[in-house]
Structure 1
Amino acid sequence: MSDPSPLIGEPPALDLVNTRPVGADLLSTPDELRVWLRLQAERSEEARTFAATEPAAESLAAVRDVREHTALALDRVRRGEPPSAGDLEALNRAQRAAPAVTELDWDGRSLRAARRRTGPPALRPAAWLAEAAAELLADPAVAKVRECEADDCVMLFLPAHPRRRWCSAARCGNRVRVARHYRRHRPAEPDPASS
C-alpha cells in the first residue's frame, strides 16, 4: 500500500484490523497507538479519554493482542465459520480486564449518565476495542464486510453502498483507475519479432 497512514471511518474494530496494511504495522510503538487513538477520538468519547493520556507499552501489547484476535475471528466469521474458542476467550478476557460501567451523576439540576471504564488504565483502550470487536462480530452486518479489491491492499470495510469496491476512493480507487487508464492509453510496444 502506498500510503502508510491509518484509514479511519469504519467501525473501530475494522479500523483496528486495518492498522496492518501490507508490509507494515501502524501500531508498532506506544506513540503510534496514541496517534491512532487521537484519530479515533473524533468519533468516540471513550477514545478521546484514552488519547489524552500517554499509552504505555502494556497498552500497546494489549491493543495488538486484541487486534490479532479480532482479525482472526473476523476472518472466520466472514467466511461463515465459527470463530475459535481461543479468539473469543481472548476478546472476552480483554473486556473483563477493564469493564465499562454507566455511572449516574446528579449535577444539581439533572441526572447524567456517563460510561466509564474501571480496571487498570493501561488495559482500558484494549477493553474498549475488544468490546467494539464483540459488537461487530455479533452484528449480522459482519457478513457484508469486504476486502479492498485493489491488488496490493488488504484493508477491510463495511460498505454503505453495495457497489463500493475499495477501502478508500481517494487511495486505492484512484490508483486502480489511473492504472486502468494507463493500460488503455499507453503506446503499443514494438514487436521484437519484426526487428
Structure 2
Amino acid sequence: MSDLVPLTGEPLALDLVNTRPSTGDLLASPDDLRQWWTLQAARLPDEVPQEIRAEDLAAVRAVREHTARALDHVRRGDEPPAADLRALNEAQRAAPAISELGWTGSAVDVVRRREGSPGLRLAACLAEAAADLFTDPAVATIRECEADDCVMLFLPTHPRRRWCSAARCGNRVRVARHYQRHKTAEPRRPGTR
C-alpha cells in the first residue's frame, strides 16, 4: 500500500491529520480533497460537491494544520496553542450548525445542517471532530507509528499495536527485519567480498 493512499478508520480528526504523510500532501489539490471527502463520505453530513474550489481546500487545510498542532500538545497533556484553538472555533463559527426541524408526516424530525459554502461546512465539521477528539480521554493514548519513515498517528485498539497499518508499515518493518537477519546470517562464499 502506498503512502499516497490515505488511511481511513481512525477518528475523523486523525484521518484528516494523517493526510500529511512524510512523502507528501494528500490534500494538495481540490481533486485530492474530493477523493478524500469521497472516502470519508459515510462520516460526513454533506454530499461531496461536484465542484471544489481552491478556497474550500484552503479552509480544510487550515483546519488540518491547526488540528495537528493542537493535537501534538493535547495528546501529551500539554496546553495547546491558543491561536490554534481560536482558529478551530472560528472555523466552526464560519458555518454554524443548525438543528433544522421538519415534519415526517407523523412526527417532528431534527436534522443538523450547516450554512455556508461546501468547503466552509466541511471545515466546520472537521473542526468539530477535532474538538470531540481533544475532549475524549482516549486522546492521551494516541500514538505515532513506530516505522522509521512514518509520521502517521493512530488510536490503538490493542495495547501492542505499533504501526499505523499492519499492511503499510507493519509489513515493511517485518520484511526489513527478515532481510537483515538473513543478510547477516548468510555465510560468505570463497572468493567474494
| Cα RMSD for the two superposed structures | 1.9
Select between 76-85 and 91-100 the one with higher mean Cα deviation.
76-85
Task: In structure 1, give the amino acid aligned to 2:167.
Answer: A
Select between 180-189 and 58-67 the one with higher mean Cα deviation.
180-189
Aligned length: 190
**Any conservation in 1 of the 2:4–2:23 contact (CA below 8 Å)?**
no
The TM-score normalised by the length of structure 2 is: 0.92
**Any conservation in 2 of the 1:95–1:127 contact (CA below 8 Å)?**
yes
* Partner residue, 1:91: 88
**Any conservation in 1 of the 2:74–2:80 contact (CA below 8 Å)?**
yes
Q: Structure 1: which 5+ residue stretches go unaligned?
A: none
Residue 110 of structure 1: how far off its partner (Å): 2.6
Residue 2 of structure 1: how far off its partner (Å): 4.4
**Any conservation in 2 of the 1:97–1:120 contact (CA below 8 Å)?**
no
Distance 1:63 1:189, change over 3 A: farther
Query: 2 CA distance for matches of 1:169 and 1:23?
Result: 18
| Matched ranges for 1:172-191 at <5 A | 172-186=169-183, 187-188=185-186, 190=188
| Matched ranges for 1:6-85 at <5 A | 6-42=6-42, 44-46=43-45, 49-85=46-82
* Partner residue, 2:154: 157
**Any conservation in 2 of the 1:13–1:132 contact (CA below 8 Å)?**
yes
Distance 1:189 1:117, change over 3 A: farther
The TM-score normalised by the length of structure 1 is: 0.91
Select between 109-118 and 31-40 the one with higher mean Cα deviation.
109-118
Select between 116-125 and 132-141 the one with higher mean Cα deviation.
116-125
Superposed CA deviations along residues 69-118 of structure 1, whole A, max 9, x for unmatched, are: 00000001122210011000000000000011221211212322211112
Superposed CA deviations along residues 105-158 of structure 1, whole A, max 9, x for unmatched, are: 112123222111123333111111000001101111110110001110000001
Q: Structure 2: which 5+ residue stretches go unaligned?
A: none
Residue 189 of structure 1: how far off its partner (Å): 7.1
**Any conservation in 2 of the 1:100–1:115 contact (CA below 8 Å)?**
yes
SS in 2 for 1:51: coil
